[in-house]
A and B are shown apart, each in its own frame.
Chain A
Amino acid sequence: MNFDPRFSGRKFASVGTRPIRPDGVDKVTGRARYGADFNMAGQLVGRVLRSPHAHAKIRKIDTSKAEALAGVKAVITAADLPDLTDGDAAMYDILDNCLARTKALYDGHAVAAVAAVDAHTARQALKLIEVDYEVLPHVTDVDEAMAHHAPLINDTVFTEGLEEKPVKPSNVTKRSQFGHGDVHQGFGHADFIVERSFKTEQTHQGYIEPHACVASVSSDGTAELWVCTQGHFVYRQHCAQLLGMEASKLRVTSSEIGGGFGGKTHVWAEPVALALSRKAGRPVKLVMTRDEVFRASGPTSATSIDVKIGARKDGTITAAEATLRYSSGPYAGAWAEVGAMTAFACYKLDNVKTVGYEVLVNRPKTAAYRAPSAPMAAFAVESAVDELAKELGIDPVEFRIRNAAQEGTQSSYGPVYGPIGIGPTLEAAKNHAHMKAPLKKNQGRGMACGFWFNFGGQTCTDLNIGMDGSVSLAVGTVDVGGSRASLSLVAAEELGIDYSQVKAIVADTSSLGYNDMTDGSRGTFSSSMATISAARNAIKTLRERAAQMWDISVDDVAWEQGHAVAKGEKHGNLGKLSLKEIAAQSGKTGGPIAGHSELVADGAGVSFATHICDVEVDPETGATRVIRYTVVQDAGKAVHPTYVEGQYQGGAAQGIGWALNEEYIYGKDGRLQNAGFLDYRIPVCSDLPMIDTQILEIPNPNHPYGVRGVGETSIVPPLAAIANAVSNAAGVRMTHIPMSPPRILAAIEAEREG
C-alpha cells in the first residue's frame, strides 16, 4: 500500500489525537490479566531444573526419586521432548535451549522439569532429581571465545562465510560482510583517521513480567496455551512443531504482556509446560522466577568492536570500516550481521566495509532486545565519529550533517534510501534549545545518531460492524504498549467515525489468520495497514448496502465522514446514510457487514533518531548522573503521539541503564553473579530526569498515512550519546560500556598517569 497523496497536508480527524487507550481502565484497576494471572481448574505447578555449570556433559539424569514423591504428577527430561525438528537447525537450537539434550551449555540451562500439586512439592521434587554432570572447560568472554586455545562449545561448527571452509572447528559460527567502494583507497585520501576498539557488556531486556504460561493438553490431542508473548502465532508454530502437533489443534491466547522488548519472541518454557501437561494429563502453570529470567532468558550480545574512520580536512568522510564480534550464547545467531548492517547506516559513504563475527559463548541464548545489535554498533561508530569531529575541529552535529545519508544515498548495507529522517533529526537537534543550554563544572554534553530498519511482515485483521453501528477490530499483533489505541484511531479515521465507537482486541490463534510477531517496530505499522485495508473493504460493502437501500447504482455512492452519500444531481434529495443506519438494516440487505485483510506489510520505512544528553561526572567517585536528555526521532506519522513519546522515552531510559549500569557479571566458574534486580540494577525513577521528545514526521512513502515504526530506534543512540557526554565531562574517551563508576575512575586515572 503506497502513501496516499491525499493524505499529505491532510487534516486527520482521529489520527494524531491522544485518547485514552481501550485497555487502560483494566490496567489501572488490576483487572487486566497477564501471563501469571490466569488459572485453570485442576492445574499443576511446573518448575524447571537448571544446570549450575557453564558447560557440562550430561551423563545421566535419574528422576526416579522425584517421581516417587507424593504430589508429583510428571517429571520430564529431553527424552520427553524428542527431536522432531527434521533438520531445521534454528528450531533444533530452540528445542535444545528448552531442555538440554547432551550438554548443559550455560549456567541456567534447563535440564529437567516437574509438575506437582503445589509449588512446595515441585521445589522438593527438583531437589530429588539426580543429574550426573561431567564438567567441561567453559568460555564466557567474546574475545576469549575467538582465541585459538578457547574451549570449543560445539565441535561441529565450522565458520560459514569464509572463502574456504576452515579445517578446524571454532566458536565462530559465521562471518558476514557489507559495504561498497574501496576503503583502502578511501583511507589514502583522508587527512585524519581515528581508530579505536570498543567493548559492550551483555544486558537483559529487563521486562518486569517474568515469562509465564498455562498449558493444557487434552487426551484427544488438542491443546490450549495461555502465555505472555510478543507473537502467539509464532509460539503456536514453534510449540506445535516441537511437540509434533498440528498447528490448528493448538490454540494460543496471548495474555496482556508485561514487557518484552524482543525477549518474548521465541519459546523458552512453553514447550516444556505443554510436555508436562501431556504427560500429567492436567493443565500446568509455569512461571519463571526472576533468577531464571536472568539466567536463562533474554540477554543481548556482549560485543567487541573495532572502528576506523577517515576524513578530509573539509569534514568529508572518505572511508569507514568496522569489525564487529557479537556473542550469541551457545547457539548460532545473526547478531553481528545485523550490527554490521546498521553500523554506518546514518552516513553517506563512498567507501565502507563492515565485517561481523558470530561468536559462541557459555551464556544464555542471545535474544533480540529493541533494535537488536544496533546500539552497540552505534556506540562504537558514533564515539569514533565524535572523536574525529574533535580532531577536525568541527562541531560534532555539523560534522554529522555534512556526512548524513539522504534520499538516494546507497546505504552502507546495500539498499538505496527513499525519503529519510537523518538530516532533519540532526537539524532539529542543532536548533534545539538543549544544544545551547550552559553547562556547569564536571558536566558534559554528548549527542549521537541512530538507525533502525523497521519491519513489516505478515498481518491479518478483521473488522466487524455490529448492528448497532459499533466496530470490533480484531488484530493479531500483540499490544506491547498502546497499539490497540492507535489501531482504533486508524479504524475510526478510515471509517469516518468516532474513536469511542471502535473496540480493538488481540485475537487468539484460532480466531484469526497468521500474524508475525510484534517485533521490528511493526505492531502499529503493519496492523494499521491491514486495518486500513479491512476498513476499505468494509466501506465497499457499506456503499453497496446503501445503494441497495436507496435502490441506486453503487457507483453513485461515495463514503464521506462516516456516511454514505448519493452523488449526482439525480440523487439530490437522497441525503446521507450513517454507518449506524446502514448497519441497523444489514439483516435485510445481505447480512453482517465486515472487512477483512490479509497482507504482507512491505515497505516499513527506515527510522532515524538523534539524541542529546548532558551528564555530570563526579571525578572523585566516577558516579555519573544524566541531568538532561532530549530525543528527536522521525515517526513518519505519529498515530497516537503520547504513545510515540512513550516509546522514545522508554528506549532512551533503557539505553541510559545500558550505558551506565547494566551488565551480566560472570565469575571465573562461569556462573552468573548478579541474577536479580538488586545487583543487576536498571534505572529507577530517581536516577533519571524528564526525557524531552520531539517527533518529526517525514512520511513513509509505503504507508497510506505515512506511518513508520517507532518502537526501537530510541535505544540506538543513547549508549553513544552518553559515552560522548561522559567523555566530554571527564576529559577522557570512554570505550567500555557500561560506564560504571569503577570504569570511569580507572579511565580518569589512566589519563592522569598519561
Chain B
Amino acid sequence: MAGVAVSTTINGDSVEYLCQPDETLLDVLRDRLGLTGAKEGCGTGDCGACSVILDDRLVCSCLVLGAEAEGRRIETVEGMAHGDKLHPLQQKFLEHAALQCGICTPGFLIAAKDLLAKNPDPTEEEIRFGLAGNLCRCTGYDKIVRAVQDAAHVMKGA
C-alpha cells in the first residue's frame, strides 16, 4: 500500500507525515508521531480515551483517519499546558485528585476543555452530559465533575 502524505497542524506546530489510507489518526499520533497522550481504550468510539480536538470539534481520534487530518488543526493533551504552566483544568484535576489510574485523564481533559470553550459556565448536569462520552472506571466521576466546576470558576475569573 502506498502511503498518504499529510500536512497538518498539531498543537500549533506544522507536522507532516506519511500514513496508510486505513490508519486511524490515533495510530498516527501514537505510533508515528510519538504523541502517546491520547489512549486507546476501545478503538470503537465508546470510551473517549482517544479524544482530541479537530478544528474546534471534539472527536474520537480512533474514528478519524490519519489522512483526514490534511490541512486541519489538531489539539491533544500534550498541547494543553503553556510551557511549565499547567492549564487550569490540569491543575484542578491534580488538586481534586480527579484521577486515580489516570488512563482516562487525557481524554477527560480534552473533552472538558472543549466543553468549557462552548459553555464556560456549565451546570453540574451539563458537565455530566458533556463528559458522558468519556469512560472512567476508577473515580465514580465525583472528583472529575468537581475539578471541572472549579476550573470553570477559575477560568471565568481569569
User: Which residues of A line the B interface, CB within 8 A?
Assistant: 18, 20-21, 23-25, 27-34, 36-37, 120, 205-210, 256-261, 287, 289-290, 480-482, 642-643, 645-647, 649-650, 652-654, 676-678, 682-688, 690-691
Contacts and interface: CB of A to CB of B under 8 A. Distances in A.
Nearest to A648: B140
Contacts of A649: 139-140, 142-143
Interface residues of B, number: 57
Among A18, A287, A653, max chain B CB count under 10 A is at A653
Interface string B121-150: 000010111011111111111111100000
Nearest to B100: A481
Contacts of B137: 205-208, 259, 261, 650, 654, 682
B60 to A, nearest CB: 12
B78 interface: yes
A650 B128 contact: no
Contact of B77 (A29, A256, A653): A29
B103 interface: yes
A685 B97 contact: no
A33 B36 contact: yes
Contact of A684 (B90, B101, B132, B143): B132
B103 A685 contact: no
Contact of B36 (A25, A30, A261, A289): A30
Contact of B44 (A208, A645, A677): A677
A649 B142 CA distance: 7
Contacts of B22: 120
8 contacts: A21-B94, A25-B86, A27-B102, A27-B105, A30-B76, A258-B101, A481-B138, A654-B140
A646 B128 contact: no
A31 B37 contact: yes
A643 B36 contact: no
Contact of A20 (B80, B95, B132): B95
B10 interface: no
Nearest to A205: B137
A209 B135 CA distance: 11
A290 B103 contact: no
Nearest to A29: B81
A643 B134 CA distance: 21
Contact of B46 (A23, A677, A688, A690): A677
A123 to B, nearest CB: 11
Contacts of B58: none
5 interchain residue pairs of minimum CB distance: A30-B37, A258-B103, A653-B140, A27-B102, A481-B100
With a 10 A CB-CB cut-off, give which of B22, B106, B133 has the most chain A CB atoms: B106
Given A208-B137, A690-B142, A28 B97 contact: no
A260 B103 CA distance: 11
B41 interface: yes
B43 interface: yes
A686 B129 contact: yes
Contacts of A653: 139-141
Interface centre among B38, B43, B78, B141 (most CB of A within 10 A): B141
B36 A37 contact: yes
A613 to B, nearest CB: 13
B28 interface: no
B125 to A, nearest CB: 8
A653 B137 CA distance: 8
B49 interface: yes
Contact of A34 (B103, B125, B134): B103
Contacts of B101: 207-209, 256-260, 480-481
A287 B30 CA distance: 13
Given A29-B80, A685-B145, A643 B136 contact: no
